[in-house]
Structure 1
Amino acid sequence: MHDSVVRVFVGYDRRIHVASSTLAHSITEHSSLPVSVLPLNLRNLKDVFWRDTDPNQSTEFSFSRFLTPYLSGFTGWSIFMDNDIVFLDDIAKLWALRDDRYAVMCVKHDHNPTSDTKFLGEKQTRYEKKNWSSVMLFNNAKCQALTPEYVNSATGLQLHQFKWLDNDDLIGEVPASWNYLAGYTTGVEQPQAIHYTDGGPWYPETEHTEYASEWFKAFKSANLCEVADLQTLLDMTARSLKDAD
């Protein structure tokens, strides 16, 4: 794929499809370049992802994200991002930060969660480089250690702490505005991508999280329809499902 097309892989979890679809819309709505958005749905990855669920993983894509370079044919650049994100700015600006000196680029958070649990009651784990892997720009040719065999056998810390690289000098840094952690990040006047790391506005427990209104705006925009408003569509869907029963 030509580098004028922004290649994006998005984490997908069947429990919260709405997050991935809203993220994809927010990316394409703001982009000034063509964008390819590919959800990492485990149903589509059975030939390359076979590892058992880890008790510490909180999403279905905790490990499958590291297949991004392999799925890109180890060529060009690709971006991976968690699904609980909404874009407020042009992803072409993030794409323009690619630097061939590095194998991977990310926001180098110093993230210390305040709670022992997060969305859906999942366990909150703490480790060095936490949330670095939630938005990654992969220079795919320099990430050939991430074969399906390695991704399916490596420990969580080996993957998320970038132990598959020869050294940390191969990790480039992008501004924190591109992975703004709602409720945690400070010193950023204008976030360009909001990451609802403790739980998105779609959960009742976190519906008033920082920048929740930005996600609801994107959700509403993603579901606009000239025929009917969202509530009418939901009512129509409910009636249709009832009739089908």
Structure 2
Amino acid sequence: MQKLSNNQIAWRAAQDIADGSYVNLGIGFPEKVAQYHPEGRVAIFHTENGILNFGESPAKGEEDWDLINAGKKAVTLKPGAAFFHHADSFAMVRGGHLDVAILGAYEVAENGDLANWSTGPKGVPAVGGAMDLVHGAKRVAVITDHVTRDGKPKLVKRCTLPLTGVACITRVYSSLAVLDIEGGRFVLREKLPSISLEELQSLTGAELVVPETVLDLIVPEL
């Protein structure tokens, strides 16, 4: 089955970040979104460990390990970048000063619940700042594969894993589709042209709302 790569999912999510937005990207896969921010638009990237307006990753061998993001990866700084205390960084999150947060997910429920910090009793818990971000950012989106490695749906009717936040997700960018969460339902906005509605529904653990117009999900080769 054809599906988008992680780079392609990240590219698609980046296209929806409005000019001038203050943005926090989750650790790991979501960090890729910054690589594909459209030229000509400004995004001010925030990290929980106390940097605002960091830039691209440095070239290999040119890292300054005093300059790292929350995922302990080396970053560069853009003109006007600022450093501040960890507590001030979370005050920005909790005070509603972030326009967008983009996170990964283990499960997303049709009512917008998110589970992304633990895979259950045998999993290693990794809460990080996600519990603050999902209720502090003005808009919270998820980027994820549509199914798990063993083919089980990650978009479900109700989450079975420990929750990160309740009714907090408004849009999902998956490897097969773009969906909005509206009125407690997954509303299909875009899908890969190569997959039928029936196949997409079979890979989704909740009923899809299919509007009259569903766009083709078209992304570049990356």
TM over 0.5, yes or no?
no
Q: TM-score, normalised by structure 2?
A: 0.31
Greater Rg by CA: 1
Q: TM-score, normalised by structure 1?
A: 0.29
Comparing both chains, which one has the higher relative contact order based on Cα–Cα distances under 8 Å and sequence gaps of 6 or more? Answer: 1
Q: Which of the pair is proportionally richer in strand? A: 2
